[in-house]
Structure 1
């Protein structure tokens, strides 16, 4: 845990990491008593952490059920992709040639996605792909944008859980992530930007299609 943060903030970050990692799924109840025991924290601290998650759009309160991990609505999906286009395309546009560290982090995320696909762990495929896109935003070298985008990918993770066929939903993206990385590594920003724009268009279309059938 990060010492500079309050305990409530640290717990909220750990719960967010569980959402991004696919360990907390939409509709799951976050039971106060279990969290108090699991984190050895006071009830007040747990309530504060859950309130922070609610502020970030990751949980919601349901009468007679308590706090639950949120299910995304169609309007929320459109908003997420507005944010993605703004941040990811801007990050590419203003980036310079990749540094060794930036290249290594992107390549590591792609390698992890590939290994997860080989294991047919489609939940992990989605998580590692999101990590790759977090590294795209990190090209702006802005801690504030990095933190904001972490909230975005946590909500995207909740969206991906709605896919009835995870393999079909996640299969197209690894090679396209790799293509974007290759273009960035060769410092071909116009082509990388175009590839990212098409990627986001197709991803939004596929994501919205999840709401077409009950």
Structure 2
């Protein structure tokens, strides 16, 4: 007897797949999302596809150009600036907390992720780099030990991953993450916050350069 997948589970599966395709760049800004085509591709009805698209609109990945046309959003300068302002406020704070609350187990996990990031950087594997770097920042948030901070970051986590994917200066990104790890491992909150701030600001400049062909100072 074939088990019927609940509608909510189908919606979440389609949503997760489409979100990852956007983050990875397989669905690019301006690409159209057509309910009928997506339903056929995923082998589902149009209802969970429609709900997944609405969720992507709410998350800021796609928008309705018209009543019948839904496309992947193009990141604007305002989008990038606002997301990085949020990163600067929250990730710098999280780094300071992580430095004061770090455990050997947590630090070992960060070292493991840095090793994976180094291997992916050497291989030029963009999707793995994005995934591992996201897990690295998630690990720092977890080490900060503040559940409210995690809940505040959660609604924009996908867009932050999408933004991270725009920065293709991978060796520099790896070097910054290693420096950030060293600062957190030192147990010095001021040092950790200073490195986190430099990292966010450098990432901002790299992202603006990649998306718009020029540089702009954050803040």
Common fold: TM-score over 0.5: yes
Q: Select which of 80, 101, 126 maps to 1:97.
A: 101
Name the CA distance, whole Å, in 2 between partners of 1:101 and 1:72.
Answer: 37
**Contact between 2:110 and 2:139, CA under 8 Å: does it hold in 1?**
yes
**Contact between 2:113 and 2:132, CA under 8 Å: does it hold in 1?**
yes
Matched residue, 1:109:
113
Matched residue, 2:3:
none
Q: CA deviation at 1:62?
A: 3.0
**Contact between 1:137 and 1:149, CA under 8 Å: does it hold in 2?**
no
Q: 1:33 to 1:172 in 2, by over 3 A?
A: same
CA RMSD between the two structures: 2.9
Q: 1:18 to 1:131 in 2, by over 3 A?
A: farther
Which segment is superposed worse, 138-147 or 181-190? 138-147
Q: CA deviation at 1:146?
A: 4.8
Spell out, residue by residue over 1:162-188, the C-alpha distance to the aligned partner (whole angstroms, 9 max, x if none): x6xx3xx33311011011112212322
Tell me the SS of whatever aligns to 2:212.
coil
Q: Select which of 74, 83, 87 maps to 2:77.
A: 74
Matched residue, 2:188:
188
Q: CA deviation at 1:26?
A: 2.8
Q: 1:28 to 1:107 in 2, by over 3 A?
A: farther
Aligned residues: 205
Query: Which structure would you say has the larger Rg?
Result: 2
Q: CA deviation at 1:69?
A: 2.1
Q: Does 1:131 align with 2:140?
A: no
Which segment is superposed worse, 55-64 or 187-196? 55-64
Q: Does 1:152 align with 2:155?
A: no
Higher-helix-fraction structure: 2
Q: CA deviation at 1:115?
A: 0.9
Matched residue, 1:118:
122
TM-score by length of 2: 0.78
Q: 1:24 to 1:206 in 2, by over 3 A?
A: same
How do residues 21-100 of structure 1 correspond to structure 2 at under 5 angstroms? 21-63=24-66, 66-95=69-98, 96-100=100-104
Matched residue, 2:17:
14
Q: CA deviation at 1:78?
A: 0.5
Q: 1:104 to 1:150 in 2, by over 3 A?
A: farther
**Contact between 2:33 and 2:70, CA under 8 Å: does it hold in 1?**
yes
Structure 1: state its 5+ residue gaps.
none
Structure 2: state its 5+ residue gaps.
1-5, 215-219
